[in-house]
Amino acid sequence: MLLSGALALTLLGACTDPKPEPEAKARPPKRQRAKPVDPAPPEPQTEPRDEPTPPPVVDTRPMSEWWCLCYQREGASGPEAMTACRETKDQCNKLESRVAKGSAEIIAGSLTNGCRSIS
């Protein structure tokens, strides 16, 4: 009976043992307030250099001159107005003669404006 009494006390003690404390949950570390960042000191300003400006380039070549005329050619839906230009007056005059005669593409006698200088 002694053994049964000791067992009874052990069981009684086990049932009445204080409950273990729940483990404390780890708290997240406190947030630190953001500190203003010291801006980098401004870089010293340097004076802009006065670099010499090159003189403008002037084209000394004579201005280009073109000789142009207007005529009509046969298009898919009827006569179409055309303009043709040549580098010299002589070339333009030759084209003017072709327009007067006509060709497969040019309507004969369709010259609307003769050779004119365009510069």
In total, how many domains does the chain have?
1
Quick check: 109 and 98 in contact, CB under 8 A? no
**pLDDT for the residue 23:** 63
Domain of residue 95 covers: 80-113
Residue 8 lies in a domain: no
Neighbours of 97 (CB within 10 A): 9
pLDDT of residue 55: 81
- C-alpha distances (whole Å) from 18 to each of 8, 15, 65 are 17, 8, 114
pLDDT (0 to 100) of residue 12? 46
Domain-embedded: residue 85:
yes
Rounded Cα distance, 68 and 71, in Å: 10
Q: Name the DSSP class of 103.
A: -
Q: State the average pLDDT over residues 10-31.
A: 57
In a domain, 107, yes or no: yes
3-state secondary structure of 93: helix
> What is the DSSP secondary-structure string of 51-63?
PPPPPPP---SPP
Residue 6 has pLDDT above 50, yes or no: no
Looking at the chain, the whole-number percentage of residues with pLDDT higher than 90 is 42
**Does a structural domain hold residue 7?**
no
What's the chain's average pLDDT?
Answer: 78
Q: Is 93 a member of any domain?
A: yes
pLDDT digits (tens, 9 = 90+) for 75-119: 999 999 999 999 999 999 999 999 999 998 999 999 999 999 998
Q: At 4, is the pLDDT very low, low, confident or very high (cuts 50, 70, 90)?
A: very low
